[in-house]
Structure 1
Amino acid sequence: MSRFVRPSKYRHVYGNPAKKEGCHDNVKVSNNAWDTNLVAANGKYISLNWQSSGGGAFAVIPTNRTGKLPDIYPLCRGHTASVLDTAFSPFDDGFVASASDDGTIGLWAIKGDEFDQLDWSDKERERNGGIKDIDPIARVSAGGRKVGQVVFHPTASNLLASATGDHAIKLFDVTHSSSSSSSPSISLRGFTDSIQSLDFDWTGTTLIATCRDRKLRTFDPRSGEAPVQVVESHGGIKGARVVWCGDKDRVITTGFSKMSDRQMFLWDTNNLSKPLKSITLDSSSGIVMPFWSDNNICFLAGKGDGNIRYYELESDELHYLTEYKSTEPQRGLTFIPRRHLNAEDNEIARAYKVTGSMIQPISFTVPRRAESFQADIFPPAPSAVPSLTAEEYFKGKRAPRNMVSLENGKISSSTTLPTAAPSTPTVTAPAPAPASAPAPVPPVDSSPAPAPVPAPAPATASAPAPAAAPTPIQTNTSSPFTRDFASRNEEPRSTFALLKDDSSVVNGSNEGSRSKSGDESEAIIEKLRIQIEERDTRIRELELENEQLKANQEKVRAALLG
């Protein structure tokens, strides 16, 4: 009896860790017990909460400076207490914000020449007075108590959200030339305990947050400081996290049950009365950090774990794919924006993992041998061009994200229109019962299910009308993605796509049904595609085994000769 497996382009995604010479060694990770990811990154820099004396500090490390860092490293200093969190602007790779236990937010402009001093000789270093630290361009007072998290707005430039120690989320208009400010532009309240995690939706219209009081809250920041929805979430008091599922009206939360089992919930943000899907992961004690990829994949990394699991969201089901396994436990983890990925190597995600004294890049790759651009696994990514200014956002304007093609670097507006936050009254739902299944099992499915297409929700009467989508932006000819496509008028198409087109022609104008022969052809084609993916994966495994055997042979030869 044949066994059918749910088809997926990402079933054989594997994590490829960098070798030691490609890692960032000799880092001094902060020992502060506050629960954050400890690290943030983009394609150019990595920021790490640093263990230092004399006030708080964090380090910014260029991604191209691998190997062992010097013992004396230029740090970003300016706080009087420990740095708890950092975040890079999605629109400026050199602009970073830091949250501190001293109740302030630091704003930093990294230009790159600060790291030239690392190449100085001992005489040059002595002549210049030693290594110089980096000073902030501005500091923002957030109310006198600790600032636990900072998150940049996804569409408005220089708009920063922060979770403060007085149980509030405050939004600030920060610019490179701004001076110190003490009054936030917007304050969101209604929390009764420490805020553990927060995230914006695709257009930044709605904000969602988890709290130590075991509740999940959504806000429309421009409609008032009170939450729109309040529901019971995970029953455990330990750290809960939330991440928005891209342009969908779905969120994923991770947390603990009352019995201390680690859980993952999928929610419909239009109605948070109960989760759509609940999965019990295991009984480990480490906090689970969720990360979303626009390939409809959610990565889960537990603190203290060595493994990274990933699930695919399809038709409101979280299908377990596989996991990256490692013996090195992670203290923190972050993923870079998709616009910085290497599409030529079919890299769909890249993480930076913090271990004891090292930051290790991990590249997640789809095993394919095709040399042309794989459009089906590389949808357009959010670009570095903002759709709004902070001032326009505060005036009520909404706009879709600007997207960049990973094939040719062209920038255009997202097809997903902004929507208003759900205007349903605040509700409180009972905590859902923990799932009884100990581990997710991929369901059996013989045919591929079509990906859900999110429909824009109608704007409420109290919400401002959506702004017109901005016109496409002229392509930057200096972009590394730009290529010469003048010699052809259409994109290269795979044999599978052509066969699908042929079957659609045979079917005629009746798009609502397919002939029996067409179904059989697609089933055969899909089966062949799965077999090819399995063969490529096996080839990759054999290549890795061969490399390991060669390395062992070299060690034996060196031992015999020595």
Structure 2
Amino acid sequence: MSRRVVRQSKFRHIFGQPVKADQMYEDIRVSKITWDSSFCAVNPKFFAIIVESSGGGAFMVLPLAKTGRVDKNHPTVTGHTAPVLDIDWCPHNDNVIASASDDTTIMVWQIPDYTPVRSITEPIVTLEGHSKRVGIITWHPSARNILLSAGGDNAIIIWNVGTGEALINLDDIHSDLIYSVCWNYNGSLITTTCKDKKVRVIEPRKREIVAKNFDDPIALQEMDTSNGVLLPFYDPDSNIVYLCGKGDSSIRYFEITAEAPFVHYLSTYSSKEPQRGMGFMPKRGLDVSKCEIARFYKLHERKCEPIIMIVPRKSDLFQDDLYPDTPGPEPALEAEEWFSGQDADPLLVSLREGYVPIKNRELKVTKKNILDNKPPSGPRRSYSSCDTGFSRVTLEDLLDEIKSLRTTVESQEKRISNLENQLHELSNGTD
């Protein structure tokens, strides 16, 4: 008589637990566009969600602690002229988020620590380079200010957000629509899936495919799910992959090991209502005192429900084996270093004392000012035929006036920001 040997794993008893009703985010107008993104993004400070919007595209940002019913007049982040399709928080600045839109642009935004009294309409920088809608954006895991985007033009562009420039354009690698893109752990390679049913591993700086033949999978898992796309989330600290199906009501999780059969099914978290999207909290945003090893933000039609994944432990002490040092908020490389060919793993932080989010850091963009470019010397087109009265002196006067007006606007924006900060401090003092 044979005995079945149970594989030993510290994650064998993981269970999912929804939060209490008063810790959910209620009455949110979740976007109804049919797109395959997760529709939301989360970090240790904020929860962001793409919402229904008239006259363009918008998303909403809420402080994590602002649970309960959301005011219908809560400010949004709005600036796109068409629906927002994807959003992603910068891993090296918890106050910076990027948004991609059907209007072919990417916008990068600075979110204040306080709740603004009106909608945020001015991005730090607008990135223009795609000829069709932009449906995927993802930040580099270890280099500062590097953002990747993929569009309906079958192109991938890698940007230096600090200068607003597109430095790498991979427009001849994919012959069909790109479904997904992700970086590897140190950001030296990217992996893509495509409508042509091929998976590609690409070295973006060399603009070449490193691997494309995946005929023999190391493991094959049949998923009993709906027709919706699967949203995979991988935690390299625990080697656990979580699979969430859009339109499904389950989260399945598997442990990945170096020995055959490599992929081990752990369990399934199931609920009654299907998910429209899913956010995944970075490890440094978890509550280590509760042995929480993952947290999801499940979107319903009108609300968001956080779900925490817990490894049951009896001890109240810090569990070293559950929480190895994890990627922190400081970049390991500058953008120029990565573009020149350098690679570096993310800089790690300890979670032993819990993680305290750092204060708001401003993202500075240094763009070349096109107004500083002098008109070319030599023969110039004459405007006398249409009697506009334009002259070299008049043009330069106009440019000087534009510069002066721009300086005035910037100073007024700073004054408004200072007044909002004072209002925030006064309101905190009266609470």
Same fold (TM over 0.5): yes
Equivalent position SS for 1:145:
coil
Equivalent position SS for 1:392:
helix
TM-aligned CA distance change 1:298 to 1:282, over 3 Å: same
Question: Quick check: 1:19 aligned with 2:20?
Answer: yes
- What is the match of residue 402 of structure 1? 347
Question: Following the alignment from structure 1 to structure 2, what is the Cα–Cα distance between the partners of residues 283 and 53?
Answer: 33
Equivalent position SS for 1:92:
coil
- 5+ residue gaps, structure 2: 356-431
Equivalent position SS for 1:286:
coil
Equivalent position SS for 2:337:
helix
Shift of 1:116: 5.2
Question: Quick check: 1:309 aligned with 2:296?
Answer: no
Identity %: 40
Q: 1:135-158: CA deviations, max 9, x gaps?
A: 312111022311110000001011
Letter in 1 for 2:266: L
- What is the match of residue 518 of structure 1? none
- What is the match of residue 151 of structure 1? 138
Contact 2:88–2:98 (Cα < 8 Å) also in 1: yes
- What is the match of residue 187 of structure 1? 169
Question: Following the alignment from structure 1 to structure 2, what is the Cα–Cα distance between the partners of residues 348 and 333?
Answer: 16
- What is the match of residue 290 of structure 1? 232
Question: Following the alignment from structure 1 to structure 2, what is the Cα–Cα distance between the partners of residues 168 and 222?
Answer: 15
Question: Quick check: 1:336 aligned with 2:337?
Answer: no
Letter in 1 for 2:133: K
Contact 1:105–1:142 (Cα < 8 Å) also in 2: no
- What is the match of residue 228 of structure 1? 210
Letter in 1 for 2:251: I
Equivalent position SS for 1:379:
coil
Shift of 1:408: 4.3
- What is the match of residue 60 of structure 1? 61
- What is the match of residue 93 of structure 1? 94
TM-aligned CA distance change 1:384 to 1:100, over 3 Å: same
Contact 2:58–2:83 (Cα < 8 Å) also in 1: yes
Letter in 1 for 2:167: S
Contact 2:130–2:155 (Cα < 8 Å) also in 1: no
Contact 2:18–2:305 (Cα < 8 Å) also in 1: yes
Contact 2:42–2:280 (Cα < 8 Å) also in 1: yes
Question: Quick check: 1:196 aligned with 2:179?
Answer: yes
Contact 1:74–1:133 (Cα < 8 Å) also in 2: yes
Aligned runs of 1:166-315 on 2, under 5 Å? Answer: 166-175=153-162, 178=163, 181=164, 184-188=166-170, 189-224=172-207, 226-231=208-213, 272-282=214-224, 284-293=226-235, 294-314=237-257, 315=259
Shift of 1:91: 0.7
Contact 1:388–1:399 (Cα < 8 Å) also in 2: yes
Aligned runs of 1:383-402 on 2, under 5 Å? Answer: 383-402=328-347
Equivalent position SS for 1:21:
helix
Equivalent position SS for 1:107:
strand
Number of equivalent positions: 350
Question: Quick check: 1:319 aligned with 2:272?
Answer: no
Question: Following the alignment from structure 1 to structure 2, what is the Cα–Cα distance between the partners of residues 147 and 11?
Answer: 39
Question: Following the alignment from structure 2 to structure 1, what is the Cα–Cα distance between the partners of residues 36 and 231?
Answer: 10
Shift of 1:409: 6.9
Q: 1:434-466: CA deviations, max 9, x gaps?
A: xxxxxxxxxxxxxxxxxxxxxxxxxxxxxxxxx
Aligned runs of 1:355-374 on 2, under 5 Å? Answer: 355-374=300-319
Letter in 2 for 1:222: R
Shift of 1:400: 2.0
Question: Following the alignment from structure 1 to structure 2, what is the Cα–Cα distance between the partners of residues 276 and 3?
Answer: 23
Contact 1:142–1:164 (Cα < 8 Å) also in 2: no
Equivalent position SS for 2:166:
coil
Equivalent position SS for 2:228:
coil
Shift of 1:98: 0.3
Contact 2:241–2:256 (Cα < 8 Å) also in 1: yes
Contact 1:38–1:49 (Cα < 8 Å) also in 2: yes
Letter in 2 for 1:200: W
Letter in 2 for 1:26: D
Contact 1:58–1:77 (Cα < 8 Å) also in 2: yes
TM-aligned CA distance change 1:391 to 1:345, over 3 Å: same
Shift of 1:41: 0.7
- What is the match of residue 421 of structure 2? none
- What is the match of residue 38 of structure 2? 37
- What is the match of residue 110 of structure 2? 109
Shift of 1:74: 0.6
- 5+ residue gaps, structure 1: 118-130, 232-271, 411-562
- What is the match of residue 164 of structure 1? 151
Equivalent position SS for 2:94:
strand
Contact 2:287–2:354 (Cα < 8 Å) also in 1: no
Shift of 1:133: 3.7
Question: Following the alignment from structure 2 to structure 1, what is the Cα–Cα distance between the partners of residues 198 and 229?
Answer: 17
- What is the match of residue 410 of structure 2? none
Equivalent position SS for 2:289:
helix
Shift of 1:273: 4.8
TM-aligned CA distance change 1:139 to 1:273, over 3 Å: same
Letter in 2 for 1:379: P
Question: Following the alignment from structure 1 to structure 2, what is the Cα–Cα distance between the partners of residues 184 and 143?
Answer: 10
Shift of 1:388: 0.3
Q: 1:3-23: CA deviations, max 9, x gaps?
A: 431111111111111111100
- What is the match of residue 82 of structure 1? 83
Shift of 1:335: 0.8
Equivalent position SS for 1:371:
coil
Equivalent position SS for 2:80:
coil
Contact 1:195–1:211 (Cα < 8 Å) also in 2: yes
Shift of 1:283: 5.4
Question: Following the alignment from structure 1 to structure 2, what is the Cα–Cα distance between the partners of residues 3 and 217?
Answer: 39
Contact 1:10–1:366 (Cα < 8 Å) also in 2: yes
- What is the match of residue 140 of structure 1? 127
Question: Following the alignment from structure 1 to structure 2, what is the Cα–Cα distance between the partners of residues 284 and 47?
Answer: 26
Shift of 1:86: 0.3
Shift of 1:401: 1.7
RMSD of aligned residue pairs (Cα, Å): 1.6
Contact 2:254–2:267 (Cα < 8 Å) also in 1: yes
Question: Following the alignment from structure 1 to structure 2, what is the Cα–Cα distance between the partners of residues 173 and 3?
Answer: 54
Contact 2:182–2:190 (Cα < 8 Å) also in 1: yes
Equivalent position SS for 1:278:
coil
Contact 1:74–1:134 (Cα < 8 Å) also in 2: no
Contact 1:102–1:144 (Cα < 8 Å) also in 2: no
Contact 2:226–2:247 (Cα < 8 Å) also in 1: no
Equivalent position SS for 2:192:
strand
